[in-house]
Amino acid sequence: MAITPSYRTFVLEQLGRVIPGIRSRSMFGGVGIYADDVFFALIASDMLYFKVSDRNRADYEARGMNPFRPFGEHGEVMSYFQVPEDVLEDLEELRAWADKAIAVAGAKRRKRTS
């Protein structure tokens, strides 16, 4: 799950342009990304993944994007999907996709603390 410093910088700069309070934290060979205190994205193997649920999964599936599988192709599927590269480069699209991922992650978090 190696991440090149230039990819990490690019992703964080792009997200910082559209979402306030972006911060990152190295974790398990990857990078966790937070909007304020909401964990909504991660970087692994120079790919960006956003949090998904039934509310936004279809957006990723329609684009042929894959779920995050930390233990390989036949391992467990996590509730994060790869963000299309063109979305990462288009700030308006990136804002829309990131907002949905933050909403999904925030809803999950509120459920756990209730």
Res 28 pLDDT > 60: yes
Does residue 100 register a pLDDT over 90?
Answer: yes
Section 42-51 average pLDDT? 95
> Which pLDDT belongs to residue 49?
96
Beta carbons within 8 Å of 19's beta carbon, 6+ residues apart: 35, 95, 98, 99, 102
pLDDT of residue 39: 96
Angle at 64 between CA 61 and CA 67, to 5 degrees: 65
Question: What pTM value is reported for the model?
Answer: 0.90
* pLDDT over 80 (residue 91): yes
CATH topology classification for 5-113: Yope Regulator; Chain: A, (3.30.1460)
Angle at which helices 91-113 and 5-18 cross, to 10°: 80
DSSP, res 46: T
Closest by alpha carbon to 79, among 39, 57, 52? Answer: 52
Domain ranges of the chain: 5-113
Predicted pLDDT at 114? 46
Q: Determine the average pLDDT of the residues in 76-103.
A: 95
> Looking at the predicted structure, is the pLDDT value of residue 112 above 70?
no
